[in-house]
Structure 1
C-alpha cells in the first residue's frame, strides 16, 4: 500500500505539472487562435485521447455502470466545463499565465465553501484559509484602490464555475465509470465550443497551424493524459494530500509563464500569489481532532 501511495503522489505531481504548464500554452495560443476555436479543438483532442483509455481501462468494481447515466452526468459537467474554460481562455487575453492560474486555483477553497449550501460542516481551518486566499487575491488583482481588471474578474468567475463542475463530477464519480464520464464531458464541451466558434469567430487554418504544438499539448496532455493520471493518483492518495499536491498547479503555471513566455510578476502580485497559495494549503489541512475521530471510526 505504501508503494501505491508513493505512485499516487507521483501521478498527482505530474498532473499538476502538466496542468500548470498548460496555462503557458493557453496564453501563447491567444496570439493566434480565438478562445472558442481553441477550446473546441482542445477538447476534441482530449476526447479522442481517452478512447484507447476507455478500451483498456477496467474498473475494479464489479458493479455494472450505466452508460446513459455516464452520458447524462458528462453532459451536465461538460456544460459547466464549457462555461468555465470559456471564461478562463477569454480572460487569458489580458493577464499572465501565473496570475490566471492562482486565481483559478481558488476553486480548491470554493468547493468546500459550497458545502455550506449542502448543509455540510465547515471546519475553522477552511474559514481561515478562505480569508487568507481572499487577502492574497486582493494583493494580486486589486491595484490603484479598488480597481479590478476585467480579465481578472473573468478568471474569478471561471474559478466558481470550475468549483461547480468539480462538485458535479464528485456527485457522479461513484455512480458511473469515471473514464466514460470524462469522455462525455469533453465531447459536450468541445461541441458547445465549436458551435459558438462557427457563429462568432474566424477559424483560420494557418493560425491554427501556427499554434499547433501548444494546442496538441493542451488537448492531449492537459486534457487526456493529465486526467488519466489524476484518476490513477486519487485511487490510493488521501484526499487532503491530493488537493494540496494538485494546488501546485498554480506554482507550475507561474514557472511556466516565466520560462516559456518571459512573464514576470511585480513584488505585490508575487506576495499575493504566495498568500493565496498559503490560504489554499490552510483550507485543505484537516484539524488534528478531526483526523483522530476519523481514525477511531475506521477501527
Structure 2
C-alpha cells in the first residue's frame, strides 16, 4: 500500500502519513484494554508534531494515494502491536522468518498479477538491484529482526516513537551523502522528534512481566 500510494502523493506527504503510526499504536494498545501512560501519549503527540515539521507535508496528493499510505501506517501499527504480543512466546528469528516469507508470498502474487511487471525485472540496472538488496536485507529482514528482539525490553509504543527518528536519520544521511540541506523548520522538527524520544525513554519503569527482561528462549 505504501509503494502503490507513493505513485499518487509526494514523498514528504507520504513520509508524514506513514509516521501517523506513532499515534495509531497507542490507540490500538488502548483498544486492547492496556492503558498507555500519559507520558507515552504525550511523547507520541510530540513526535507527530516533529514529523509534521520535518516532512513539511505541503506536497500534492491524490485521495487514493492518501488512503493507501494511511492504510500502510495502520498496517505498520498493527504489525508492531501483534509482534509485541508474540515476542515473548516465540523465537525471534522464527517470527521474523514468518513475516518476511509472508511479504515475499504476497509481493510475488502482486508481481504476477496483470500489470505487476513479473517476478524478475530483467531490465533493471545494477543500481536498482543494489537498492533491492539493501531494502530487502537491511531495511526489512535485519530491521524487523532487530525490532522483534527489542520488544523483549521495550513496548510497541516506545518503539513506534523511536521509529519517528527515521526521517531524522534520512535527513542526516542526505546532508552528508547528497549535500541536501534541511530548512530551519525541518531542523526544528528533527529536534522535536528527538525530544519525544528522550521524553519516553525517561519514563518510569513499567510493572510489566512480559517486558521485564530477555527471555530464556534462543533468539
In the superposition, the TM-score normalised over structure 1's length comes to: 0.53
Partner of 2:105: 191
Of the candidates 79, 87, 91, which is equivalent to residue 165 of structure 1?
A: 79
Q: How does 1:62-211 map to 2 (within 5 A)?
A: 86-87=1-2, 89-92=3-6, 94-96=9-11, 104-139=18-53, 140-143=55-58, 149-150=61-62, 154-199=68-113, 200-203=115-118, 204-207=121-124, 209-211=126-128
Change (3 A) 1:103 1:255: farther
> Shift of the alpha carbon at 1:250?
3.3
Alpha-carbon spacing, 1:159–1:125, altered in 2? closer, same or farther (3 Å): same
Q: Distance in 2 between matches of 1:114 and 1:193?
A: 26
1:115 deviates by 1.6
Whether the aligned pair in 2 keeps the contact of 1:141 and 1:152 (CA below 8 Å) is: no
Question: How far, CA to CA, are the matches of 1:192 and 1:283 in structure 2?
Answer: 35
- 8 Å contact from structure 2 (residues 51, 193) kept in 1: yes
> How far did 1:215 drift?
0.9
Deviation at 1:153, TM superposition (A): 6.3
Matched-pair contact (CA < 8 Å) for 2:50–2:190: yes
Question: Which residue of structure 2 lines up, in the alignment, with residue 215 of structure 1?
Answer: 132
> How do 1:285-296 and structure 2 match up within 5 A?
285-286=202-203, 288=204, 291=205
Shift in CA distance, 153/282, structure 1 to aligned 2, threshold 3 Å: farther
CA-to-aligned-CA distance 1:188-247 (integer Å, 9 cap, x gap): 111111211222322431126440111111112223334444556666xx427x847665
Distance 1:270 1:114 in 2: 30
Q: Among residues 151, 154, 174, which one is paired with 1:239 in the alignment?
A: 154
Q: TM-score when scaled to structure 2?
A: 0.68
> In structure 2, do the counterparts of structure 1 residues 251 and 135 end up closer, same or farther at CA, with 3 Å as the change threshold?
closer
Question: Which structure 2 residue ranges, 5 or more long, are not aligned?
Answer: 213-219
**Residues 1:250 and 1:137: Cα distance change in structure 2 (over 3 Å):** closer
1:253 aligns with 2:170: yes
Assess if the C-alpha contact under 8 Å between 1:133 and 1:276 holds in 2.
yes
Note if contact 1:107-1:160 (Cα within 8 Å) is conserved in structure 2. Answer: yes
Identify the residue that residue 183 of structure 2 maps to in structure 1.
Answer: 266
CA shift for structure 1 position 248: 3.9
Partner of 1:14: none
2:179 and 2:42 mapped to 1: Cα distance?
34
Task: Flag structure 1 segments of 5+ consecutive residues without an equivalent.
Answer: 1-85
Supply the RMSD in Å over aligned alpha carbons. Answer: 3.8
Higher relative contact order (CA 8 A, sep 6+): 1
Alpha carbons of structure 1 residues 258 and 156: separation in structure 2 relative to 1, 3 Å: farther
What's the CA shift for 1:164?
0.4
1:101–1:253 contact (8 Å) kept in structure 2: no
Determine which structure has more spread, i.e. the larger CA radius of gyration.
1
